[in-house]
Structure formats: structure tokens, C-alpha cells
Amino acid sequence: MKVKNICCIGAGYVGGPTMAVIALKCPEINVTVVDINKDRIDAWNNEDFSKLPVYEPGLDEVVKKARGRNLFFSTDIDKAIEESEMIFIAVNTPTKTYGEGKGMSADLKYVELCARQIAKVATTDKIIVEKSTLPVRTAQTIQTILDNTGNGVSFQVLSNPEFLAEGTAIEDLFNSDRVLIGSLQTKSGIEAANTLVDIYSNWIPREKILTTNVWSSELSKLTANAFLAQRISSINAISALCEATEADVDEVAKAIGSDSRIGSKFLKASVGFGGSCFQKDILNLVYLSRHYNLNEVADYWEQVIKLNDYQKYRFAKNIITDLFNTVNGKKISFLGWAFKKNTNDTRESAAIYIADHLIDNMAEIHVYDPKVSEVQIKNDLNYLWSLKGISNSEIDQKLKQVFVYDEPYSCVSNAHAVAILTEWDQFKNFNWENFYKFMQKPAFIFDGRNILDKSKLEKIGFKFRGIGKI
Ligand code: UDX
Ligand code: UDX
């Protein structure tokens, strides 16, 4: 099949950048990104390219080149489905917050809705591409829905997991380590996979495009994220040991990472990993393993998350301990709220959980993040507290302990302590001498990302604590 029109359902962090790059690299294909959220689509269509709903370095340039040429953003989902030969599903698949599998399995509600909508609307054959991260065997579910409710047209379901990391999405899409395409190993399944291979071949070397069966593809995505997260939990576990033994975790990471069998990436000790994928995907893996009665396997992976929770808790507890065992009424300045630098995404950010713990201990949390808005920060806390069953009036009360700034000076002024939660480059170049003058004494810094120079800051007068070093 020759593809002339692609549609993608879901204009989020994955759908938006991925489709923008496909449109840029394949000018002969029309790419329409659709979403039920009109505000989001309006933002993608904004004349001002600094107002796109997703912040990613380089994304504005790509959208500038392709939008209006062969890249379109729309809320007319039915029209886009009908006109396209290939449909990507990139809707969100959060961890379930209710019912069977609550807190563990992925909520496939949106994916199923997409499949039903495609089945209802389609009058010609389509290739459906799973882009959302999904539990293993979801392709089968989609295929069954399509086959049973469709208009007699033929559907081929492919799995094409996304490996881009936020903050480097455009670079990752331009120069992917690999592209993975899973299909049924039937003649038509392989043909459909080849159609997608042809699209990626426009810019990805053929040897980097891997084709597998659907289940391997789905499982590889969960496994890749579990392995990456496991490395972080491993080094974070060692960071606690470093603090007890006077070793330095960055030195240990460098020493072990120099072994080419181990490698140097994903060994940066931190306040804990966040983001929409790691925890969710591991929970999926754990749920799947328990489903197949593989309890040892489930326990093994679950520990990666437990360690991550411990790391976040440890960071908050260290702040309380160092501030003479109480943060009641104290001003703690958070530099950074996003789950990593160069993104405005805050999903599962460690900052949320650390703020929650400190607010429980009656601290005031003052936040500055260069890309995250006050509304978002308050929504994040509101969401967490609602999940915990806290009443609306109590939430309103707690939110009075949260203050958000659009510049760092007032955020830090008069603070008892500064906590670095995100590794934004600009934090390294702040005028820390000046900050020191305006803070309460003793002035503390808790560097949850190990980005600041301890000896320099101690010379200024700060009491300094990093991760995995004393
Ligand atoms: C992606 C993946 O798809 C998810 O499975 C992965 O684990 C994380 O990354 P992401 O792009 O980050 O999700 O999610 P989000 O930014 O929330 O975007 C999803 C979009 O889908 C939203 O804009 C939402 O409005 C849209 N959507 C959702 C629909 O258009 N239709 C629906 O039925 C549901
Ligand atoms: C991840 C995967 O990297 C990507 O391949 C997949 O498609 C989606 O999930 P993402 O969550 O966007 O990407 O960012 P990533 O760079 O992996 O960082 C995840 C979290 O781990 C962040 O909170 C980051 O700060 C933290 N991290 C990362 C560390 O604490 N230490 C490290 O060494 C690396």
C-alpha cells in the first residue's frame, strides 16, 4: 500500500513531535494530528511558535517548516480517519486509578475508544499503528474490536513503540538508535510492516529499523524502560550507601561506567526518576508478570519503583533533619518542577512527591521553574491529593502553603533552604553569592541533581548537601 495520508490520534508529547518529524521528512505525505482537546489543537495552530503546547528544543523549527504544508492539526477526528491509509494511536494510557488493576495496570479506555471510532468511521482498508505504550497483547484487543465492529474493511494492527525521551525528542526522532515495528507474521501483516518501514526509511538507515512479531515489539518497549529505570534505581541505592560511607556516588558512577560492559549512561544519581513512562511501564510489567503467576519476576521489577519512592522520601527527610528536625513555617525554595530539564512536562515529577511530604510537615513551598506554570504546579498537587482522598477544603488549605514565581530571585529571597529538583542548566549559572545574601542563615542547599559545585558554595557560606556524597 502506498501511503499518502497519515492521521495520528493524540496531539500530546509523543504524537505532536513524532508526526511533526514524519511530516518534515516525508513531504509527499499529508500528516494530520487530531485530538479531542480543542485547546491543545488551537495551541498547535498558534501563530506564535513559542506557544506550542509541548516544549521541546528544536520542535518549533520543525513545526514552522511543515505546518500548513503537509502537517495539519485538527479536531475533526472522523474526517482525518476516513481520509488516511495509516492511523497512529498516540493517546495517553495512564495507570488505572479505579477498579480492577487500580494503581498497576494501564487504563486502555482511550485506546479502546479510538479503535471503536476508527471501526465506525472507516470505509477503506487501514493500517493501525500503536504508538502509545501498551500492555503486551493489546494489539490483539484492538484487532478484535476492529474486526468485529468494522464495516467489512480490512485492518492491520502494527506495534511501533516510541523510544524518544522528552527534552531530546527531536534529536531522538532524527537520529533514532532504532525504530521497532511489530506485526503479525502473516503475509498481510508483513506487508503492512513494510509500508511503515518505507516511511521511516526516508531518514532512518534501513539497518536500524527492526521488525519483529507484535508481542516482542510491545514487550520490548516495557523492557527498555524497565532496564533504564533499573539503572537509576541501582545507582540511587548506591547513593544512600555512599552517604553512609563517605564514598562519592558520581565518582563511583564514573568508575563503573567506564567499564564498556556497563556503560556510562543513565547512571546519574538523582532525587528519583519521574516522567509519564518509567513507573507506569514497570507497573505494567509487574501486573503482567503477576497475571502469569510469575511472582518472583514481578517482585524483582517492583523493587525498582520501591527504591525510587525511597529515594524521594529520603531527600525530603534529609531536608527536615538538616533544618533542625522541623520545617514548620519555613520557606523552602524549589528550583525546578519538571521531571527533567528541557521539558514543561511534570508527570510523576519527583518534585510533586517531595513537596507533598514537606507540606505535610507544614513547610511553605516556593517554586521557580523556567517552563512550568503556576496552574500546572497546583494541578499536580491537587491531583495527587485527590487521589489520596483528601477533601477539597483541605486541599485549598494545603495550596495556601504553595507559592509560584516567574523569576528565581523572589523565590529564593528569605528562604531557609533551596532544593534543586530539576537539572535546568540556568541554575548552574545563578549568582549564588547574591542568593546567599538574601536567604535566612544558616542557608541550606539540597542539590537533588548534583549539578552545583559543592566547594564553591560552601566557600560562600552555604550548608550544602548533594545526593550520594557528604
Ligand atoms: C504518550 C503515550 O502515548 C503514552 O502511552 C506513553 O506512555 C506516554 O507518552 P503522551 O503523548 O505523553 O502519551 O500523552 P499526552 O501528552 O497526554 O497526549 C495524549 C493526547 O491524546 C492528549 O492531548 C489527549 O487529549 C488526546 N486524546 C486522549 C484524544 O485525542 N482522544 C482520546 O480519546 C484520549
Ligand atoms: C523515557 C525513555 O528514556 C524513553 O526512551 C521512552 O520513550 C520514554 O521514557 P523520558 O521519561 O522522556 O524517556 O526521559 P528520561 O531521559 O528517560 O528520564 C526519565 C527520568 O529519569 C527523569 O526524571 C530523569 O531526570 C531521570 N534520570 C535519567 C535520572 O535520574 N538519572 C539518569 O541517569 C537518567
Spatial distance between the Cα atoms of 364 and 42, rounded to a whole number of angstroms: 36
CA 300 from chain centre, in angstroms, equals 23
Atom of ligand 1 nearest to the CA of 91: 21
Pocket of ligand 2, beta carbon within 6 A: 162-166, 225, 228, 232, 266-268, 270, 273-275, 277-278, 339-340
Residues sharing a CB contact under 8 Å with residue 263, sequence separation 6 or more, in sequence order: 257
Catalytic residue among 7, 114, 277, 411: 277
Predicted local distance difference test score (pLDDT) of residue 317: 98
Ligand approaching nearest to the C-alpha of 449: 2
- In this prediction, residues 31-55 reach a mean pLDDT of 96
Quick check: 397 pLDDT over 70? yes
- Measured in Å, residue 273 CA sits from the centre of ligand 2 at 7
Tallying the residues shown for the chain, one arrives at 470
Report the SS3 class of residue 7.
Answer: strand
- Is there a catalytic annotation at residue 221? yes
Q: Is 40 in the pocket of ligand 1 (CB under 6 A)?
A: yes
Residue having the nearest C-alpha atom to atom 2 of ligand 1? 132
Residues sharing a CB contact under 8 Å with residue 315, sequence separation 6 or more, in sequence order: 271, 272, 350, 354, 419, 446, 448, 467
Provide the pLDDT confidence category of residue 150 given band limits of 50, 70 and 90.
low
Catalytic residue among 25, 131, 221, 312: 221
Quick check: 138 pLDDT over 90? no
- Measured in Å, residue 16 CA sits from the centre of ligand 1 at 10
Provide the pLDDT confidence category of residue 41 given band limits of 50, 70 and 90.
very high
Q: Is 54 in the pocket of ligand 1 (CB under 6 A)?
A: no
- In this prediction, residues 59-67 reach a mean pLDDT of 97
CB atoms near residue 289 (< 10 Å)? 18
| Lowest mean per-residue pLDDT among 42-56, 146-160, 321-335 | 146-160
Q: Is 276 in the pocket of ligand 1 (CB under 6 A)?
A: yes
Q: Where would I find the H helices in 150-267?
A: 169-174, 187-200, 214-245, 249-257
In terms of Cα–Cα distance, which of 161, 125, 155 is closest to 142?
Answer: 155
- In this prediction, residues 261-275 reach a mean pLDDT of 98
Place of cell 495496570: 105
Among 162, 339, 346, name the best residue to mutate to test ligand 2's pocket (greatest count of ligand atoms within 8 A of Cβ). 339
Provide the pLDDT confidence category of residue 100 given band limits of 50, 70 and 90.
confident
Residue having the nearest C-alpha atom to atom 21 of ligand 2? 273
220-251 pLDDT per residue, tens: 999 999 999 999 999 999 999 999 999 999 99
Predicted local distance difference test score (pLDDT) of residue 102: 87
- Measured in Å, residue 282 CA sits from the centre of ligand 2 at 13
- Averaged confidence pLDDT in the chain: 96
Provide the pLDDT confidence category of residue 45 given band limits of 50, 70 and 90.
very high
Quick check: 190 pLDDT over 80? yes
- Measured in Å, residue 297 CA sits from the centre of ligand 1 at 29
CA dihedral 436→440→444→450, nearest 10 degrees, is: -40
Ligand approaching nearest to the C-alpha of 114: 1
Quick check: 149 pLDDT over 80? no
C-alpha cell at 37: 482537546
Residue having the nearest C-alpha atom to atom 33 of ligand 1? 110
Atom of ligand 1 nearest to the CA of 77: 30
- Is there a catalytic annotation at residue 277? yes
Q: Where would I find the H helices in 246-370?
A: 249-257, 278-291, 295-322, 350-360
Spatial distance between the Cα atoms of 174 and 170, rounded to a whole number of angstroms: 6
> At 140, which helix (H) or strand (E)?
helix 138-149
What angle is formed at CA 202 by the lines to CA 198 and CA 203, rounded to 5 degrees?
130
CA distance readout (Å), 338 to 35, 127, 274, 460: 24, 35, 9, 28
Among 277, 311, 314, 423, name the best residue to mutate to test ligand 2's pocket (greatest count of ligand atoms within 8 A of Cβ). 277
Residue 125 near residue 116 (C-beta atoms within 8 A) = no
- Measured in Å, residue 179 CA sits from the centre of ligand 1 at 20
Ligand approaching nearest to the C-alpha of 112: 1
Residue having the nearest C-alpha atom to atom 16 of ligand 1? 12
317-374 pLDDT per residue, tens: 999 999 999 999 999 999 999 999 999 999 999 999 999 999 999 999 999 999 999 9
Does this model's pTM top 0.85? My answer is yes
Q: Is 9 in the pocket of ligand 1 (CB under 6 A)?
A: yes
Quick check: 446 pLDDT over 90? yes
User: Packing angle between helix 15-25 and helix 59-66, nearest 10 degrees?
Assistant: 50
Atom of ligand 2 nearest to the CA of 13: 12
Catalytic residue among 26, 96, 114, 162: 162
- Measured in Å, residue 310 CA sits from the centre of ligand 1 at 29
Q: Is 93 in the pocket of ligand 1 (CB under 6 A)?
A: yes
- In this prediction, residues 109-133 reach a mean pLDDT of 92
CA distance readout (Å), 136 to 159, 164, 300, 352, 365: 10, 20, 19, 30, 40
Encoded amino acid at 99, one letter: G
Predicted local distance difference test score (pLDDT) of residue 227: 98
Residues sharing a CB contact under 8 Å with residue 470, sequence separation 6 or more, in sequence order: 243, 246
